[in-house]
A and B are shown apart, each in its own frame.
Chain A
């Protein structure tokens, strides 16, 4: 009787040992984090804002619709994505030696854009204020073209020479 009981207990212990490795069982689950990054924005200044020859004492304007002389940027990215446009405008053009300044001004209607729904530079989709932040959408073709005009105001005693300054357009996705 005791021998049988002993065998049973040994058998039970053996069974426990056999099963116990699963007593602290671990279960694993793996998921994935997934994201699709869209195309980065590209902004290319395709045409400079060119005033050409300027006479001292006589203001000169270049209209945003003037092909070849108005400033032009081409923005490419994701079709229909919302972007913000922020222009950094100079208040003067400067000679190479930085000794002479030529004042420049921009009106609230001196910039325009076309997202493909307008007729290009001469009949753009809309007008924007270059001094203020704008929120627009790239067109269905994933591009947006922006033009800018302006006026230089040379003084009567304006120093002769070549003047220039940067006009910077900063474009960013809003995520919308």
Chain B
């Protein structure tokens, strides 16, 4: 019985280690900076420091799905400003040497579920976007949340 208990104990240890599959770290907000009324502004996914950056850590080889909850407006009180994400505004790199300026998987669609495997150095996700301020856009600081959900598929 002691032998079985020991096996059971190690099974649990193994499972708990194996099942904490991934962890999402937010490295950078999507930062548009100063915006002039009437002048749309684009932040490319490859622009370090301005594009949004997420880092997914976990067991190399684990498959994960990535889903974004994307806002269509940024807000300042009752004022809204249109925020656009195109079908090519996302990039992912699972390589050992992630490179935002030349990502492994480029021009991905953030509006659809993305499925990739965590690499030996984790998985980096970058996101760009466009804001379209109106000519009489109320001045001030606008913000909105972008939520990413990373799910371990078990594959």
Give the nearest-CB partner of B145 in chain A. A30
Contact indicator A81/B148 (Cβ below 8 Å): no
Interface size range of chain A in the complex: 20 to 34
At the interface with chain B, which of A33-41, A116-124, A153-161?
A33-41
Interface size range of chain B in the complex: 35 or more
Query: With A8-B8, A24-B152 in contact, do A35 and B35 touch (Cβ < 8 Å)?
Result: yes
Chain A 42-85 per-residue mask, 1 if CB under 8 angstroms from chain B, else 0:
00000000000000000000000000000000000010010000
With a cutoff of 8 Å between Cβ atoms, the chain A residues found around residue B22 in the complex are 25, 27
Contact indicator A30/B26 (Cβ below 8 Å): yes
At the interface with chain B, which of A11-19, A91-99, A105-113, A129-137?
A11-19
Contact indicator B15/A38 (Cβ below 8 Å): no
Give the nearest-CB partner of B54 in chain A. A29
With a cutoff of 8 Å between Cβ atoms, the chain B residues found around residue A27 in the complex are 22-24, 56, 149-151
Once the chains are docked, how many angstroms separate the CA of A76 from the CA of B123?
Answer: 47
Residue from A11, A12, A37, A81 in contact with B138 in the complex, judged by beta carbons closer than 8 Å: A37
Query: With A25-B20, A78-B36 in contact, do A37 and B142 touch (Cβ < 8 Å)?
Result: yes
Q: Is the interface of A mostly helix, strand, loop or mixed?
A: mixed
Query: With A15-B12, A23-B154 in contact, do A34 and B142 touch (Cβ < 8 Å)?
Result: yes
Residue from B39, B136, B138 in contact with A175 in the complex, judged by beta carbons closer than 8 Å: B39
Chain B 115-155 per-residue mask, 1 if CB under 8 angstroms from chain A, else 0:
00000000000000101010111111111111111111110
Once the chains are docked, how many angstroms separate the CA of A173 from the CA of B35?
Answer: 10
With a cutoff of 8 Å between Cβ atoms, the chain A residues found around residue B12 in the complex are 15, 19
Q: CB within 8 Å of B: which residues of A? A: 4-5, 8, 11-12, 15-16, 19, 22-41, 78, 81, 172-175
**Other 9 A-B pairs with CB < 8 A, given A24-B153, A25-B21, A29-B147:** A15-B12, A24-B154, A26-B152, A27-B151, A28-B150, A33-B131, A35-B141, A40-B37, A40-B136
A-B contact pairs, 6 of them (CB 8 A): A19-B15, A31-B30, A33-B143, A35-B33, A38-B139, A173-B37
